[in-house]
Chains A and B, each alone.
Chain A
């Protein structure tokens, strides 16, 4: 079976080729490559034809509306969903959801999921022999504020092994799912923690071949978010793709979702 060395060689080769292309004037890539063989599961799951350019029409220029009836305020705190407190470093993860023009995305749904401190998900297919935490499900939701802000209280997730190759480990991460003001801005991604030693080894993180683009997935430690005697704070802002709709002034103020 393939080792980390084999995979790292592939990752390095693709990174070097990208660096040369950049030097020769190719535009910087901002998204992961759909065709990224070091992530073995992508080999049969990426389209081979290039994406077809389309102008968004009608329904695509709007987003589904979510409101406070959809999400309870307590769902933003992943540490209070059980009788006891989950194990691990308590953290606050907060930031803003902005569209490509810098406008806040207000009143929209943010969903997160993550492994526990031992790097284990509550999921039947997670075979990592690390302990489950009876006080942690690892699932949270919130609705963004008028300024596009979101805020979760959770715990620091652990790194976990996976079956891509021998000794494959995912850097610690939190999965994020977000909506914009238009359905074409829909995004699912992963937030990472600064300084993780596993970054160069991870085919999923490295599927974004551009370093500046990769950096956009890494939260920064923020002492202003840290709460004394309570939790460390991490800041991470999400920028969606640019909007295609002609905005009226009212919409630009952020009118999605209900008010409460």
Chain B
């Protein structure tokens, strides 16, 4: 194979306010049908630096299935109601709240002899006023041991680390808020 050439990446730009007819689609936030076995609600609120909710943000999640398998299934945009594709998109409402129907991500990539990796959901955040998308992760609150040894979480101080761990609701759902700025500012990731 020839030596790959390193190219300079194209800059991102804000998603702006007018994606409404383009990005949302039917059942975009239902990675599986609400009420189906194993399904749960992942929800939260998106806040700005003044603590105001952001009504024009859009979130995407991408995650393994409940067994920790990374699926490569097409059909996210035209869902058949049965195939778990692992990817979804949710526009926040007027109150800044987003909702997904999904499953608990299973542990992936366990190395024999090492503690199980802490399962997480990968998240991309877009908003008017946000110049470029932001990446972050949502970890499940259980399995404290895995959370304690997770390479990313253990590199953060306890206050910041909390922003990446969802709360478990009494009904089995998950609550996880996004704070773009200020007190409790969510940890956003740079992979470069």
A residues neighboring B (CB under 8 Å): 30-34, 36, 39, 41-60, 62-71, 98, 100-103, 109, 111-113, 115, 121-126, 137-139, 141, 175, 177, 183-184, 186-190, 204-205, 207-208, 212-214, 216-217, 238-242, 244, 249, 252, 256-258
Contact = CB atoms under 8 A, between A and B. Distances in A.
Nearest to A160: B18
16 contacts: A32-B12, A48-B49, A48-B182, A52-B187, A52-B189, A57-B117, A59-B64, A66-B76, A67-B75, A100-B9, A109-B77, A126-B18, A183-B122, A189-B12, A241-B191, A241-B192
Interface stretch (B37-45, B95-103, B132-140, B166-174): B132-140
Contacts of A41: 128-129
B126 A188 contact: yes
A31 B22 contact: no
Given A58-B109, A242-B192, A31 B12 contact: yes
A139 B11 contact: no
A60 B87 CA distance: 12
Size category of the binding interface on chain B: 35 or more
Nearest to B191: A184
Contact of B131 (A36, A115, A213): A36
Contact of A258 (B74, B87, B117, B187): B74
B48 interface: yes
Contact of B13 (A51, A54, A217, A241): A217
B18 A213 contact: no
Nearest to A107: B74
Contacts of A252: 1
A59 B122 contact: yes
A180 to B, nearest CB: 10
A177 to B, nearest CB: 7
Contact of A137 (B5, B21, B187): B21
B17 interface: yes
A242 B60 contact: no
A101 B133 contact: no
B162 to A, nearest CB: 14
A48 B177 CA distance: 17
B124 interface: yes
Contacts of A207: 13, 131
Nearest to A124: B20
B152 interface: yes
B158 interface: no
Contacts of B156: 52
B114 interface: no
Cβ-closest 8 pairs across A and B: A41-B129, A67-B74, A113-B22, A64-B87, A101-B4, A51-B190, A70-B77, A45-B129
Contacts of A30: 8-9, 11
A94 to B, nearest CB: 15
